[in-house]
Amino acid sequence: MSATDLLLASALLLAVVPPAPSGAGFEAEWRAWHEQRLASLRKPQGWLALSGLHWLKDGENRIAGLPGVLTGAGGGVTLTAAASDGWTLGGLPVTSRVLASDRDHRPDRITTGSRTAQVIDRGGQLALRVWDAERPARRQFTGIDAFRPDPRWRVVARWEAYPTPREVQVPSVVGIPTRGQAPGRAWFSLDGAEHALEPTLDGEALFFVFKDRTAPRETYGAGRFLVAAAPKDGQVVLDFNRAVNPPCAFSPYATCPLPLPHNVLPVRIEAGEKTWGH
């Protein structure tokens, strides 16, 4: 999963932290956020519906179970299909079209029956991502277990800005690293020691991929995601109650980023979502 994926993951964008309410309002606000998170996962093109990832080569590509031909050439992909294949874009039939990928954050999402597809770009390699609204994982989803929300895990961290953002190569589960811009580090105290997490930029927000010692028994083994609002007055609010599972927890067809070594914490973060499914 690249920074482009973040723009598609509306649940993560909901994780930007507002000022903390007081008293019982803290838990109530978390539960409202959590319900929005679950609703996002349940969408017909949510991560629970992700059902395929097909890497494309130059020339003709025919994908089992999907009608039409995808032709790769010059870094782009053209769909050629019969009207009877039923592909539509924005409700209009598609029989021949150069498909915009997610490279520029405005991909074409084409639909036929219960399935939706779009071209994604990972380090210059193109693939067709497919969702199926009838995928059993979506239809059978009942929720995600989480640690009980606790204000203790809403941490006000000290922000250390770099003189200029540094380019980082973020590893991924598909073995293709993606480029990110790391603007600084967030420092916070836990169990009597200082720890730091380095995010990458997602627009004006900060995107953290981290792992802690609750993994893999209690939380997802590859790590979790957290989004924070932009630094203000030298501080960043890290609400670990809103740490979420990556898309790879819900589908083997995601391209999730992995934590950089310095974002693997030697402590337990007993907050946020727990592991889900298998």
pLDDT band at 23 (very low <50, low <70, confident <90, very high): low
pTM: 0.89
Across 137-149, average pLDDT: 96
Looking at residue 22, its pLDDT comes to 59
pLDDT at 19: 56
Query: What structural domains and CATH numbers belong to the chain?
Result: 3-23+142-263 (no CATH), 47-139 (2.60.200)
Q: Is the confidence at residue 191, as pLDDT, over 90?
A: no
53-82 tens-digit pLDDT: 999 999 999 999 999 999 999 999 999 999
Indicate whether 1 pLDDT > 60: no
Q: In the predicted model, is pLDDT for residue 15 greater than 60? A: no
Six-digit token string for 37: 């998170």
Contact predicate 82/68, CB 8 Å? yes
Instruction: Check: CB of residue 47 under 8 Å from CB of residue 247.
Output: yes
Specify the amino acid at residue 13.
L
Question: How many Cβ atoms are within 10 Å of 99's Cβ, its own excluded?
Answer: 20
How much of the chain, in percent, has pLDDT values that exceed 90? Answer: 87
On the question of pLDDT at 237 being above 60, the answer is yes
Yes or no: say if 228 and 238 are a contact pair by the CB < 8 Å rule.
Answer: yes
Rounded to an integer, the average pLDDT of 83-108 is 95
Q: Mean pLDDT for the chain? A: 92
The SS3 assignment for 22 reads: coil
Cβ atoms within 10 A of the Cβ of 168, count?
A: 15
* Residue 177 CB burial class (10 angstroms; 0-12, 13-18, ≥19): middle
CA nearest to 224, candidates 240, 235, 203: 240
What is the C-alpha separation between 231 and 78, in angstroms, rounded? 42
pLDDT at 143 > cutoff 50: yes
Nearest-angstrom CA–CA distance, 269 and 226: 12
For residues 175-184, average pLDDT: 95
